[in-house]
Chain A
Amino acid sequence: MTKHSNETIRSTFPMPALHRREVLALGAGGLLAASGLGARAQTKAAPPPPAKPTGQVVVGLSQEPTAFNPLMPGIEVDETVWMQLFNTMWLADPQGNLMPDLAAEIPSEANGGISEGGLVWKVKLRAGVTWHDGTPFTAEDVKYTLELINAPGFKSRTRVGHALVKDIKVTGPLEITWRMEKAYAPYLALLSNTFIVPKHLLEKASDPNTAPFNSAPVGTGPFKWGTRQPGDNITLVANEKYHGKGPYLEKAVLKYVPDQTALYAQFRTGQVDLIIGTGIPANFYEEAKKLPGRKVVMIPNASLEILMPNLENPVLAEKAVRQALYASINKQAIIDVIYYGTHKPTESFAPQESWAYNPNLPKQQYDLAKANKILDEAGWKRSGSGVRMKNGVPLEFAVSTTTGAALREQCQQLMMQDWQQVGVKMTISNMPAAVIWGEFYTRSKFQSLLVGTAFRTVIDPDPASRFASDAIPAKNGSGANQMQWQNAEVDKLLKAGQETFDQAKRKEIYWKLQEIAREELPILPIFQYAPIEGYKEGLIGYEPNINARQNTWNMGSWYWAR
């Protein structure tokens, strides 16, 4: 068992393994200013990046990227490829600041890019950008992309936010405007994750769903499509005409190793240069830290491990029950014993690195006496069998999670033992992932779930799709409020948070929301993820970014020290 106090874990954030040399190197990669770490880096210069792209990096992934049209349905790992091949109009740095990429500047109310109370948007685009095939990038490509997302027959990944976009007009080769159906602040964040695709290639296809482009994508990014060995790897090659800094590597190989232990073994033996995404399994953390020539870092992640109650369940619908259950979860034991001390407890649905995070929420205490007291007061009486009853209903429910998730299964057993002591009968009902994440989850057919998920809109703190009353799929809502939480005050706050672009005002709104969620417990937060990634020493430029979905977000600026 590894013991980590809270403080040790916290002190490793947000960028635990960035040593001076790397920090300077980041500067060389053009990130120094954005990361705000410049002042700390003073001595010993990092080797400069090579003049011409050289060398290769092998990135180990435990899932295989398979969808290469960035607008079509894909899983998270597909983004490791999209980020290299394509660009978004802007993207977020590790601190959450948006940095222009294909856009020349970030539209805001101050610079006139967003006007009429958030209804009219105008974006100026960067000049001199070309597609990998040499065709110039223009505002027509942006218009085509936004229209394709909403095109009826197109299997687009998501239309959240995009469905509000109307009257797209190209007002110049590098300028575009559109009108929003309603003011929607998270759209800035959504666009930071919307990759722009080439009009000249896709419009030629009879059906964009089956276009040749989808298996040989052409973008504007730092790397160009190379080769793909299905089931094994994808090789990308440097785009020497890239509009940004870099790329400094001649080749980037994304290597798929499905078994996490096998992936770790390949990291150990040097066949992969880094492990990102699902990361190094927690049980290898201690050993991995001691590997010579390897750097291992705990990285910030926006996902939370939670117990998700179905609030339609008569037992779990009662606030007192949820509060008692929460008080009798031994969070620290779960983190220390089961997760080798690698994650950090949390009280909020928002990640602790977010500008909207409220640090003043009451801290959960593992307190069985308190749990007993809450249940006694709520009228749940102990019966002969030790299980509490109220109006003939036993205090009993099932917790489901994916079979084979060994750590979660252990977690269930810990919870079961704790809850048994306060007169709660918990049963385990685990199923394969494809079953859990099917209608069982989307249509709220579970009693409660032990899951890891995030409560924000891309990088925006807006949790409306998870908490709003009209976002309950089981009640024909169009969101992901699988808990079926309904709260009039929350609805009002969520709406207000979407309508204003003023960060100070929004912060106030989300602080209040976090207080309500902490009190009502529509989710029982256990910990915020801190997965472990690792890389070979000498790799310069790797930088964890909680606001990117994969830490290959800046791969264009990576290179090897020589």
Chain B
Amino acid sequence: MSTFLVQRLMQALVLLLIVSMIGFAILHLAPGGPLSQFAAGGEMSQEDLDRITEQLGLNRALPVQYAEWLWRMLRGDWGLSYRDHQPVLHIIASHIGATLELMLTSTLLAMLLGAWIGILGAIKRYSLFDSLATIGAMIALSIPTFWFGLVVIYVFSVGLGWLPSGNRYTIGDGSFLNQIHHLIGPCIVLALVSTAVWSRYMRSSMLEVINQDYIRTARAKGVPEGQILLRHAFRNALLPMITITGLHVPTLLSGALVTETVFTWPGMGRLFLDSISYRDYPVVMGILMFTAVLVLLGSLIADLLYGVADPRIARNG
């Protein structure tokens, strides 16, 4: 087990290094730079722009800039945002709360709902419920998130006035209920797609399991149907779900870009979008590395959980 862990961690470090190199190169080689926003205003002279370029070290060779960045990063200094003049870690930390709140709620909702729909669909295959669930999932998967978000706002905020049209809370009212009220809209939008995906995975993996010999054996032995489903089928059907969840962890923290933008949710997704459009290199690289670590961590955890859920796959030694 420990050898496995060490191996995986070594692999992870190499991967992180490669990710950082590619990310850094792509970001810096893309045309345009962080000073373009000031140039657009037209109030800065070329001299001013050149001076700031020099002060930010942007006129140095790319490998030099990368080496400097890596050295600082290794010492725990993620740099200062060009836009915000704040430490990158500080900026990421200030956006993660909003993203966690939104993603955890919607993921929980989608998992419970998705698992329920999937299991029920598998047990009652080709029933009316199953057909409706299938059609519903297809529709949900094909709806563009952006459009659906706007529809929710249009119908429930502008039209009916039931929900706020965005934001995390009403300014001047930080109560818990107020925050829940604001969560509903973006949660519906985010959960819709995840529920559809999860219900499909759950259904097919459940179907696979309930046609196995051991289920038939259990049924022949007269084990109650409820027990068969819960103890034997569900546990095994969960295996593929663990992988999917493991890979979902990073999106939990890197945020839902589109939904956060439509609902003006101040989370990581929007921070990433803003930072890219501004070419705020330190922040983009910070989020990139943060997400890369999460992806690696997510898949590692999924691998370890595999062993817990199904001892046959557990690694020895």
Contacts and interface: CB of A to CB of B under 8 A. Distances in A.
Interface of A: 56, 58, 64, 66-69, 72-73, 75-76, 153, 155-160, 209-210, 214-215, 229-233, 235, 251, 253, 255-259, 261-262, 265-266, 268-269, 271, 431-442, 453-454, 458, 465-466, 471, 473, 477-480
Contact of B167 (A69, A76, A232, A432): A232
Contacts of B41: 75-76
Nearest to B93: A230
Contacts of A271: 164-167, 170
Contacts of B32: 432-438, 440
B171 interface: yes
Contact of A265 (B30, B166, B170): B166
A251 B80 CA distance: 30
A214 B87 CA distance: 12
A372 B279 CA distance: 44
B6 to A, nearest CB: 38
Given A76-B41, A265-B166, A433 B277 contact: yes
Contacts, number: 179
Contacts of B263: 262
B172 A56 contact: yes
Interface stretch (B15-23, B112-120, B153-161, B210-218): B153-161
B161 A155 contact: no
A442 B279 CA distance: 16
B270 interface: yes
Nearest to B42: A453
B42 A231 contact: no
B264 A258 contact: yes
Interface in B23-44: 30-33, 35-44
Interface of B: 30-33, 35-49, 51-52, 55-56, 80-81, 83-86, 91, 94-95, 98, 150, 153-154, 157-158, 161, 164-168, 170-172, 261-264, 266-267, 270-271, 273-274, 277-279
B171 A255 contact: yes
Contacts of A473: 46
A542 to B, nearest CB: 18
A454 B279 CA distance: 24
A439 B266 CA distance: 31
B27 to A, nearest CB: 11
Contact of B83 (A67, A232, A259, A471): A67
Contacts of A258: 261, 264, 270, 273-274
B158 A265 contact: yes
Contacts of A477: 46
B179 to A, nearest CB: 13
22 contacts: A66-B81, A76-B41, A157-B43, A158-B44, A160-B45, A210-B85, A215-B86, A230-B84, A231-B95, A232-B98, A233-B171, A255-B171, A259-B262, A262-B264, A271-B164, A271-B167, A435-B30, A435-B31, A437-B32, A437-B39, A442-B49, A478-B47
A76 B277 CA distance: 16
A256 B270 CA distance: 12
A232 B42 contact: no
A238 to B, nearest CB: 14
Given A210-B80, A453-B42, A159 B48 contact: yes
Closest 7 CB pairs of A and B: A434-B32, A231-B266, A437-B36, A473-B46, A232-B266, A438-B32, A478-B47
Given A232-B167, A435-B32, A466-B42, 19 more contacts: A155-B52, A157-B43, A157-B44, A230-B91, A230-B266, A231-B98, A235-B171, A255-B167, A257-B166, A265-B158, A266-B166, A268-B165, A269-B161, A433-B32, A433-B40, A435-B31, A438-B33, A440-B32, A480-B46
Nearest to B82: A73
B86 to A, nearest CB: 6
A433 to B, nearest CB: 7
Contact of B157 (A67, A209, A265): A265
Contacts of A438: 31-33, 35-36, 39
A3 B240 CA distance: 60
A528 B287 CA distance: 40
Given A73-B38, A253-B171, A266 B165 contact: yes
Given A230-B95, A438-B33, A262 B166 contact: yes
Given A75-B37, A262-B262, A458 B47 contact: no
A229 B179 CA distance: 15
Contacts of B38: 73, 75, 157
A431 B56 CA distance: 25
B85 A215 contact: yes
A259 B261 contact: yes
A235 B51 CA distance: 33
A253 B172 CA distance: 9
Contact of B168 (A232, A432, A440, A465): A232
B158 A269 contact: yes
A434 B278 contact: yes
User: Of B43, B161, B274, which is in contact with the most chain A CB atoms at under 10 Å from its CB?
Assistant: B43
A458 B42 CA distance: 10
B39 A72 contact: no
A479 B46 contact: yes
A479 B46 CA distance: 5
A438 B33 CA distance: 6
Given A75-B41, A436-B32, A257 B264 contact: yes
Contacts of B279: 434
B83 A66 contact: yes
A265 B153 contact: yes
Given A253-B171, A432-B32, A160 B48 contact: yes
Contacts of B46: 442, 473, 477-480
A480 B43 CA distance: 8
A72 B264 contact: no
Contact of B153 (A210, A231, A262, A436): A262
B259 to A, nearest CB: 12
A306 to B, nearest CB: 12
Contacts of B166: 257, 262, 265-266, 271
Contacts of A259: 261-262, 264
Contacts of A453: 42
